[in-house]
Structure 1
């Protein structure tokens, strides 16, 4: 089954109660952290529960580790059980459109060893466009036990990034816009540019002009300058917009793919680390 599912598929599954399903709303705005929860309360897909990037899908930022560090995984595991996710659960995640926050939660569940997790193509906007029902009713949660099986080979840290860039044993990609990669603009951080050695792969390039996810052949073309035999480390600003690229790489047949959660915001928290401002 594809990682990305259609609104028609989800509607039919919910109507027919075909298998245990948990739907998760991850809408969020970096410039207005309360906007996603407000949007959820104003209307969401029936049965959906809300998870917040800052409160549920990341840890509070510290000096090092980036601006959206991974959440405390013991706490994350408890929350998954609390919202009804266990080994037998199909999880469907949506964002406003095909945004980065749904992919972040997808990656976290994959990291925790839960494979039956999918993204709703087109997100909430597509669901509304299709004319399907929305509700303001917050569902009653049926708690269960989520037993993680952490995939430690799915994640890396700054020490490993430095080592593998030095010995050229992995390829590092930067998922931010090309202008941010080149340091022409930087809306969030005190330094502009990218980690030396990183290659530019803007995360929105995995989407079609209409915002839908590209098919497998198109994703393979997007990444055709990379080798499927190499280890690919995916970064961005803070480990969030990198996640759509991780998903796209997996969909395109890349197997040795790691997320660098700290990404550029972690890199520049160490004064001794240089930044680059030219294409590589």
Structure 2
């Protein structure tokens, strides 16, 4: 992929709207401390944007054994995307207001399902200089048909737990350094990281304005990324993709890995 296939600036999005070009805009506000972003969305969002729930529509919590945010099925995603008004051949812009976590998750899930033309608003909502509208948007039903029902084996590469622990994979841990080291673990029952992983916090790939940095670290061989539950690792995958580097996502991430007491844990 290239930068322009992954990211879009607020200026470019505004020009699309001025020109009247068709585009579907999805508001995917989500934070660890505030996973339901609907209230913030209803207070003010980019005109025409439809709210997307990361917890309810970009995850499937009925799935067990695959971490805290299991991937949805392509079938369920297709039904949700039609509610959002996603149409065949119409580009999609996803945005959030917190460290690109929600938008990167939406970008990864939709792209893995085979949806083309999905881009992340670089810098998120704070970069938008146009008007905001309040309330909710109900879009006309879309007609999207996803290509992959199993996103774990979809259009983007993924890692199983066994593959994530393999020595030939350069594995990147997207969590904050203190969680990587195992100094603290506020969410999962076990502290630490997958042995051999390198800490590349997702926020280290964003500048002070929340935009993706143009240069990323160089890695050799196969590259994979994980975090607590596969959400912020999507930011790392997106940052690398924008720089032309393919990286696989370990969707279950630390929450899946640490759920099995037989798997090794490294600290420090």
Return 5+ residue gaps in structure 2 as ranges. 149-153
- Answer yes or no: is the 8 Å Cα contact 2:58–2:105 preserved in 1: yes
The Cα offsets for residues 17-70 of structure 1, whole Å up to 9 and x where unpaired, read as 12x210000111322333x10001111110000011110111116652111111
The equivalent of 1:23 in structure 2 is 25
The equivalent of 1:96 in structure 2 is 97
Distance in structure 1 (CA, Å) of the matches to 2:213 and 2:55: 28
Are 1:112 and 2:149 counterparts? no
The Cα offsets for residues 228-266 of structure 1, whole Å up to 9 and x where unpaired, read as xx22111010000000100111122213x2111100000
Distance in structure 2 (CA, Å) of the matches to 1:161 and 1:8: 38
- Answer yes or no: is the 8 Å Cα contact 1:97–1:126 preserved in 2: no
Are 1:161 and 2:160 counterparts? no
Aligned length: 260
- Answer yes or no: is the 8 Å Cα contact 2:84–2:138 preserved in 1: no
Q: Structure 1's 140 and 211: CA in aligned 2 closer, same or farther, altered over 3 A?
A: closer
Distance in structure 2 (CA, Å) of the matches to 1:207 and 1:182: 21
Distance in structure 2 (CA, Å) of the matches to 1:238 and 1:156: 13
Are 1:81 and 2:82 counterparts? yes
Distance in structure 2 (CA, Å) of the matches to 1:152 and 1:105: 14
Distance in structure 1 (CA, Å) of the matches to 2:253 and 2:126: 29
Are 1:272 and 2:262 counterparts? yes
1:262 aligns with one of 239, 252, 256:
252
Q: Structure 1's 189 and 61: CA in aligned 2 closer, same or farther, altered over 3 A?
A: farther
The Cα offsets for residues 104-129 of structure 1, whole Å up to 9 and x where unpaired, read as 000011101123111112211221xx
Q: Structure 1's 61 and 179: CA in aligned 2 closer, same or farther, altered over 3 A?
A: farther
Distance in structure 2 (CA, Å) of the matches to 1:147 and 1:156: 25
The equivalent of 2:184 in structure 1 is 185
Distance in structure 2 (CA, Å) of the matches to 1:134 and 1:242: 29
Structure 2 counterpart SS, 1:11: helix
Distance in structure 2 (CA, Å) of the matches to 1:70 and 1:2: 23
Distance in structure 2 (CA, Å) of the matches to 1:231 and 1:114: 24
The equivalent of 1:250 in structure 2 is 241
Shift of 1:149: 2.4
- Answer yes or no: is the 8 Å Cα contact 2:100–2:210 preserved in 1: no
Write out the 4+ residue segments of structure 1 that deviate beyond 4 Å after TM superposition: none
Structure 2 counterpart SS, 1:23: strand
Distance in structure 2 (CA, Å) of the matches to 1:120 and 1:271: 39
The two structures have a TM-score, normalised by structure 1, of 0.87
Q: Pairwise CA RMSD of aligned residues?
A: 1.7
Distance in structure 2 (CA, Å) of the matches to 1:32 and 1:104: 16
Are 1:144 and 2:145 counterparts? no
Return 5+ residue gaps in structure 1 as ranges. none
The equivalent of 2:56 in structure 1 is 55
Q: Structure 1's 30 and 259: CA in aligned 2 closer, same or farther, altered over 3 A?
A: same
- Answer yes or no: is the 8 Å Cα contact 2:6–2:241 preserved in 1: no
The equivalent of 2:11 in structure 1 is 8
The two structures have a TM-score, normalised by structure 2, of 0.91
